[in-house]
Copies of this chain bind each other. A is one copy, B any other.
Amino acid sequence: MLDHIPAADLTIEDVRTAHERIRPHIRRTPIMTSDYLNDLTGAQLYFKCENFQEAGAFKVRGASNAVFGLSDEMATKGVCTHSSGNHALSLSYAAGRRGIPCNVVMPRTAPQAKKDAVRRYGGTITECDPSTTSREATFAEVQARTGGEFVHPYNDPRVITGQATCSAELLEQTDGLDALIAPIGGGGMVSGTCLTVSNLAPETAIYAAEPEQADDAYRSFKAGHIIADDAPKTVADGLLVPLKENTWHFVSNHVTDIFTASEQEIIDAMKLTWKYLRVVMEPSSAVPLATILKNPDTFRGKRVGVIVTGGNVDLDKLPWLKA
């Protein structure tokens, strides 16, 4: 079974199988461009808008691959997970489409928009404190109680393989890319991107973008081993979690570099995209543009794919309107 395949043994054939499995449950999201942002960065930016998934995030790809890959027997007790938000609601969405239960552990500080979506899709939330320690302890209790299949938000080959379908589409939708950049939290999207791109477009550089205030992936990458924060704080609420062994495999082997951005740079980039792309993206999704603006020499003159990971935002609490 795919969940027992080590990350290192995943192949592009696994990605193709995942893509066929999840196709009825996801959208082939469009690529958006902005002449204004191209002029500003000197690059050709191709924004792959996963915020336009029905559930508002790329995580519906990995969640659907896990949920629809379960045998009928495994599916009876449903699925469970812990997540800062988008994996929780995406797993609830996929479980709802299959008609099986979904239990999720979320930090009480998660955006209301994300908690509301979990409940709308039929998921059950148990809240925890906003730290990795609390999250893991609370989850152990929930999993023991429900007996559901654990679908880790990123450290799961089924999830990584599902996320890998995003860059497969992006490569098809563009005419070759010099570079591709995605936000990094636990590394699920970046790992999926590495799996696809290292096979289909090995000449394309892969960058990861991370908040300075949750820069464990950056520090891990520079140190050569996983370093975890316990309770980082950043406006990019989707990027709070640390790398794990499956994602570290891809990050350490295939990522060209990791760039970081400050809170203000993330907020400024978020507002720029709302204004000029006219898409509602969440703070986490703005980190790549923030780092492109901060490292112009790396991207100038290049064709750059930018993965817009999600668009589940509290519209009543926009970060540039904070008092």
Contacts and interface: CB of A to CB of B under 8 A. Distances in A.
B32 A54 contact: no
21 contacts: A30-B30, A36-B120, A51-B278, A52-B277, A52-B278, A271-B315, A274-B280, A274-B315, A275-B315, A278-B279, A278-B280, A278-B281, A279-B279, A279-B280, A280-B280, A315-B318, A315-B320, A316-B320, A316-B321, A318-B318, A321-B321
Interface string A138-176: 000000000000000000000000000000000000000
Interface in A199-215: none
Interface in A54-90: 54, 56
A227 interface: no
A113 interface: yes
A35 interface: yes
A56 B113 CA distance: 26
A34 interface: yes
Interface of A: 30, 32, 34-36, 51-52, 54, 56, 113, 120, 271, 274-275, 277-281, 311, 315-316, 318, 320-321
A151 B274 CA distance: 30
A320 B316 CA distance: 8
Contacts of A316: 320-321
Contact of A54 (B34, B52, B120, B281): B34
Contact of A113 (B30, B36, B54, B275): B275
A54 B35 contact: yes
A122 to B, nearest CB: 14
Given A278-B280, A280-B280, A321-B321, 6 more contacts: A30-B30, A51-B278, A52-B278, A275-B280, A278-B279, A279-B279
A65 to B, nearest CB: 20
B315 A278 contact: no
Nearest to A282: B278
A311 B56 CA distance: 19
Contacts of A321: 316, 318, 321
A321 B322 CA distance: 12
A113 B274 CA distance: 12
